[in-house]
Chains A and B, each alone.
Chain A
Amino acid sequence: MAEKLLEIRNLTSGFVTEQGIAKATDRITLSVEKGKTLCIVGESGSGKSVASLSIMRLVDYAGGAIFEGSIGFSGEELASMSQKEMIRIRGNRIAMIFQDPMSALNPVFSVGDQIAESLRLHRGVSRKEAWRQAVDMLRMVGIPDPELRAKQYPHELSGGMRQRVVIAMALICKPELLIADEPTTALDVTVQAQILDLLQRLQQELGMAIVLITHDMGVAAEMADRIAVMYAGKIVEEGTVGEIFDHPSHPYTIGLLKSIPGLEGARGEELYTIPGTIPGINQLPSGCRFHPRCAKAEEKCRQAEPLLREFRPDHQAACWLYDSGGGLGGDDKESEVKRA
C-alpha cells in the first residue's frame, strides 16, 4: 500500500449556532495516498465543502470550528496547529481551488502579480524571478501568450481562462496536495473537459495528490482513484472507483447513480427518484440519517446509527445491510454475501 499523505480521523467540524452546535461533518474518516485522487461526492448540504475547508483550516475563518478529530498531513497534525503555523502550509504544501474563479481572484491586481504573490511569500524569491515563474506557470496551464496575459486583469479573461489562472495560482508552489472544490461546476462541458484534462496532466507532472469535491458522478468516474460519498455530514460509502461504480452498495449511492439520466439506453421513461430531500444539519433524523428516504429502512435503522465498515476489500459502507454485527433481514444480507 502506498504512503498516506493525508489521514483524517473522526473529524467533526461545523458551526456554533443559537440552537447549539451544528455538525456539518460528523466523525468522518478519510485518507489520500501520495499522487492519487480522492473524490468526495455529495449533494448540496452534505458537508463536503466544510470538510475541505477544515483540511485547509479555513473553516475557522468561515465562522466555524473543528470540534474533534485529527487531520494528519505527512507527519504533521493540522487540526490543532495554530493559524500562524498553518500559513506555512496553506498555499504552499496544500493548495485549494474554488468553484467560482471570478470571486477567487482579486479584480485590482494583474493575474501575474496574484500568481507571483504566494511564491514571494513562501519561497522569498525576488520580484523578477517570481514574475518569470508566474509566466511559466501560465504557459504550463495552457494559456496562450502568457507574457501578455500575466499583465492582464481578471475581467479581461474568459471563465475557462480564469479557472486556469486560479489553477496556476494554486500550483505555483508545487503543492503535495491540491483541494479542488467543484472546480468545473461553473464551466461549460467543453471547457470542463479541458480543465479536467489539465488537472490530470499536471497531477502526473507534479506528482501531487488531489481531493476533488464534486456533485457530478461523471466527473468523479473520470478523475477518481477512490470515491467517498457523503450524505448529511457522514461518509456513507467509500471505496475504489471500480468498486463504487460496479458494486454501489449503500442505498443512497445506488439511488444517486440510478437517478442520473443516461446517455445510452431508454429515454423518456420515468426516472428513478429518491423520495424527499436531504435534511438540514440542525434537524437530523435519529439512527441512520438516510432512513426516512430509504426503501430498505427497518426498525434498527431508525434507532441506531451504522458505522463505516469494510465489508469487501477496498470498499466500506455505513449501512446496517452490510454490518455483520447487525441484524437486518436475512434475504438481503444473504444475497449480498453471495454477490461478494
Chain B
Amino acid sequence: MNESYFIDIRHLKKYFPIKTGLFNRVVGHVKAVDDITLGIYEGETFGLVGESGCGKSTLGRVVLHLQRATSGEVFFDGKNVQAMNSQQLRRLRQDMQIIFQDPFGSLNPRFQVRDIIGEPLRVHQRASANDIDKKVVELMELVGLDASRRNRYPHEFSGGQRQRIGIARAIALNPRFIVADEAVSALDVSVQSQVLNLLMKLQKELGLTFLFIAHGLNVVRHISDRVGVMYLGKLVEVARTEELFANPLHPYTAALLSAIPRPTPHRKKERIVLQGDVPSPANPPSGCRFHPRCSFAQEQCRKVAPELQIVSSDRQVACHFPLEYSEMKVLIH
C-alpha cells in the first residue's frame, strides 16, 4: 500500500445483520460496505458519490469509527484506528470530525449556539468558560456568523446559518480530517454556494482533508480533487475529478453523469437512462453488481465480480469491459 496516504482504508467491510422472528435469528446481511480499499492524501478533498443506499454514508461513519467495521482496517496518519483503545480513540476524535446533512436534526434544540459550538472544547480541552467563549466568538466569525447571536437557539437561525453552526462545531478542535456527509444537499442553490465557498476557504486556511460525500455531482465536481463512485457497497471507479467527468470508464459512472439535468436548454442530447432500480444490498446480483442494469453486460459479468484495478496513475475501475474513450464520447455527446 502507498505510504503517503493520510487516510488509508483497506478491505473495509460493514455488514448489518438482518434479524427476524422471536429469537432474532440472523437470516442474512445487508452488505452496506463490501470490501472497500481506498486512500486519501493529506490536504485533498475526496468526493464520494453514489445513489441512496449505496453505502457512502456508512463508509464515512465507519472511517470515523462511529460504527465498528465488520472487518478491514482504517489507518489514520499511519495509526490503525480499529486497534485503538478507548483512551487513544478519544484523543483521535479531536483530529477527525463530521458535518451532517440535516441542519435541523443535527443541532440540539435545547442548547444555545455557544454551547453547541463550545461543547467539543469543553469535553476535549477542559478549557475555562472564558476561554471557550473567546474561542466560540472566533469560530463564529470564521464561519461568517454574527457572534453577538451566540446566546440564541438553533431555531432562530436559517438553514444555511445552521449549517455554518455545524461547521463551526466541526472545526472547533482544529481537526485534520473532516467527513462532510451531504453537507450542502439540504440547502437552496444560493445558500449552497455560500457554504461551499466557506468549506473551500476553511480547507485552504486550516489545511483540512475532506471526505466529501454527496449525491449532487456538480457540487462534487467543483470541490473535489479526486472522486470515487460507489454502487451497492462497492467502489466501482476512482479517478481525478477532471478525468472522471471527461472520460468515465465504468458504465455506471457514465450513466450517472449523463443523468444530471443541465441548465443548458438547447443541448437536447441523448441520455443513458438506466432501467430498473438499485437492487437490494441484502441480496445483491451475482458477479458484477451492476450487470442487470448494464447495457454492455456479458456472460463473464454475470459470473465473476470484477476487482478494482489500477488502469493508469490515480485511476482505478472495477469493470471487465471498461468503456473506451471513444465509446464514451459517442454516448455522452
Interface residues of chain A, those whose CB is within 8 Å of chain B, are: 43-44, 158-161, 188-194, 196-197, 215-222, 224, 241-242, 245, 255-257, 259-263, 267-268, 270-274, 277-278
State whether the Cβ of B21 lies closer than 8 Å to any Cβ in chain A.
no
Contact flag A190-B190 (CB < 8 Å), given A261-B196, A277-B160: no
Contact check, B197 vs A270: say whether CB atoms are below 8 A apart: yes
User: How many contacting A-B pairs (Cβ < 8 A)?
Assistant: 128
* B189 proximity list for chain A (CB < 8 A): 43, 215, 217, 256, 259-260
Given contacts A43-B188, A189-B51, A197-B273, contact A242 B266 (CB under 8 A): yes
The answer to whether A270 touches B217 (Cβ under 8 A) is no
Contacting residues, chain B, for A274 (C-beta < 8 A):
190, 193
Q: Which of B194-252 contact A (CB under 8 A)?
A: 194, 196-197, 200-201, 215, 217-219, 221-223, 241-242, 245
Shortest C-beta distance, B242 to chain A (Å), equals 7
Partner of B215, one of A44, A161, A189, A224: A189
Shortest Cβ distance from B326 into chain A, in angstroms? 20
User: Is the beta-carbon distance between B194 and A273 smaller than 8 angstroms?
Assistant: yes
| A196 x B261 contact (CB < 8 A) | yes
B263 interface residue (CB < 8 Å to A):
yes
Cβ of A267: which chain B residues have Cβ within 8 Å of it?
221-223, 241-242
CB distance from B187 to the nearest CB of A (A): 9
Q: Tell me, yes or no, whether B112 is within 8 Å of chain A by CB.
A: no
Q: Using A193-B273, A256-B190 as known contacts, say yes or no to A268 and B222 having CB atoms under 8 A apart.
A: yes
Residue of A at shortest CB range from B192? A259
Q: How far is the CB of B270 from chain A (nearest CB, A)?
A: 11
In the bound complex, residues from chain A placing their C-beta under 8 Å from that of B277 are 158, 160-161, 191
Q: Does B52 contact A (CB under 8 A)?
A: yes
Residue from B191, B217, B260 in contact with A277 in the complex, judged by beta carbons closer than 8 Å: B191
In angstroms, Cα B257 to Cα A1, docked, is 37
Instruction: State whether A221 and B263 are in contact (beta carbons under 8 Å apart), knowing that A43-B190, A191-B277, A261-B218 are contacts in the complex.
Output: yes
Please state if A218 and B256 are interface contacts (CB–CB under 8 Å). no
A237 to chain B, nearest CB (A): 15
A–B pairs, 5, beta carbons within 8 Å: A192-B259, A217-B189, A255-B190, A262-B218, A270-B200
Contacts from B to A (Cβ < 8 Å): 51-52, 158-161, 188-194, 196-197, 200-201, 215, 217-219, 221-223, 241-242, 245, 255-266, 271, 273-275, 277-278
Would B255 and A190 count as touching, CB distance under 8 A?
Answer: yes
Most buried by A among B189, B219, B274: B189
CA of A241 to CA of B265, assembled, Å: 7
Among A193, A197, A218, A272, the most chain B Cβ lie within 10 Å of the Cβ of A193
A297-B277 Cα distance, complex, nearest whole Å: 48
| Cβ–Cβ < 8 Å partners of A215 in chain B | 188-189
Contacts of B200 in A (CB 8 A): 268, 270
- The residues of A that contact B193 with a CB separation of less than 8 Å are 259-261, 271-274
Nearest B residue to A157, CB-CB = B277
Contact B266 A188 (CB under 8 A): no
- Bound Cα distance from A277 to B145, whole angstroms: 13
- Measured CB to CB, the closest approach of chain B to A155, in angstroms, equals 14
Which single member of B194, B196, B217, B271 contacts A197 (CB below 8 Å)? B271
The answer to whether B51 and A217 touch across the interface, beta carbons within 8 angstroms, is no
Contact pick for B218, options A158, A194, A221, A260, CB 8 Å:
A260
Q: Which residues of A contact B215 (CB under 8 A)?
A: 188-189
Residue numbers in A under 8 Å from B158 (CB-CB): 277
A216 vs B216: C-alpha distance in the bound complex, in angstroms? 11
